[in-house]
A and B are shown apart, each in its own frame.
Chain A
Amino acid sequence: MSMINYASREINCKLVYYGPGLGGKTTNLETIHGKVSPDTRGKMVSLATETERTLFFDFLPVDLGTVRGFKTRFHLYTVPGQVYYNASRKLILKGVDGVVFVADSQLDRMEANIEAMQNLYDNMAEYGYDVTQIPFVVQYNKRDLPNAAPIADLQAQLNPGWPVEDTAKQKEVPDPYHEGEFLVQQVDGQWVERAPYFESVAVTGDGVFEALRAAAKLILKSLS
């Protein structure tokens, strides 16, 4: 739930990083925290266990610039990746404006990715939200590892697309981030839409900002 504060001239939006355990959600935030100028970001808060597993959430506020004279302030949250903490994971989704799903590209984490994606849909539905109708980006992390699955396989499993029922939206939309690919297209006679995807290596920062910017842009456009 974005909040426009006319008194402080700020637009506040909530972006949640979701995904399986040890997939790199916290690392994403740490990278953003490390690379963004201290003038444009706040303090990073991590509620983690002694072994640095996220217990409740990580939180980082960043300012991404000004639109119509209003400061655009994004509150970035991660959820605990472990299923054990589902109750607190669900709480973080309350009032969410957009989601970045951080998938672990490693072949042996495919099952965990699928489970986390299903859990995202389920938890969103409990609030009456539909993840396919809000700003949603998929980030395939750990692309540098030798056992990373091919993007085509990850896309087929995690981001195969959802049906587009609205006839007004049944037209090809090219993927601005990947030449020759489409976000909306007809597959076997059925119109489908996919979330924009990005490849990343969160520890080095590759692809992290691209995913963040894409999600932030979609959120602001959803307000316009």
Chain B
Amino acid sequence: MSGASTWSLQESDFSQIQACLSALLKASNARCSLLVDRNGQLLANAGEELSFDATAFASLTAADFSANDQLAKMIGEQEFASLFHQGDKESMYLADVARRVILVVLFDQRTTVGMVRLKVKQTVSDLNRIFDEMFARLEARGAEQAPGLLEGAEDEIDKLFGD
């Protein structure tokens, strides 16, 4: 492979993911949850409206997870499948999904880390299934259909850059 491959998130996958995130919030009493890909792109979020810059948050989450992955390897672990950051009032719990995305849960004193951890387990297993199916489908479709969306859009791209 000469570079990183492209992948896409379809609306049907998106609604399944959204349902998973909402169910998690209901079960755990957490404030909000986000799904971020390992390259730092925000895929979905649910719950309370975010009061911060979600794009910056997503890129920092991915960096946080990557840095911790390397730390895990240094001490002889394959990975840290989950991370917990504790604040005075707000805390966050991060968990790996299918080695491709990160589930982030933000919560406060209305719940406990134990409860969040417990409920995240189920959500991670549901999301794993969704993403495994999604990537299997993308792989099955193969490289010949991969370009799809921008195929033949050269003129439009030229126009975008004023050439």
Q: Which residues of A contact B (CB under 8 A)?
A: 1-7, 11-12, 14, 42-43, 45, 47, 56-57, 59, 61, 64-68, 70, 72, 75, 77, 87-88, 91-92, 94-97, 127-130, 133-134, 176, 213, 216-217, 220-224
Contact = CB atoms under 8 A, between A and B. Distances in A.
Interface in B65-104: 66-67, 70
Interface in B6-23: 6-11, 14-15
Given A7-B11, A59-B56, A133 B3 contact: yes
A3 B56 contact: no
B39 A3 contact: yes
Given A64-B160, A91-B70, A217-B157, A5 B8 contact: yes
Contacts, number: 137
Contacts of A92: 63
Given A67-B156, A134-B3, A223 B9 contact: no
B105 to A, nearest CB: 21
B151 interface: yes
B39 A14 contact: yes
B159 to A, nearest CB: 9
Contacts of A133: 2-3
Given A64-B160, A213-B161, A217-B157, A224 B59 contact: no
A5 B160 CA distance: 20
Nearest to B148: A4
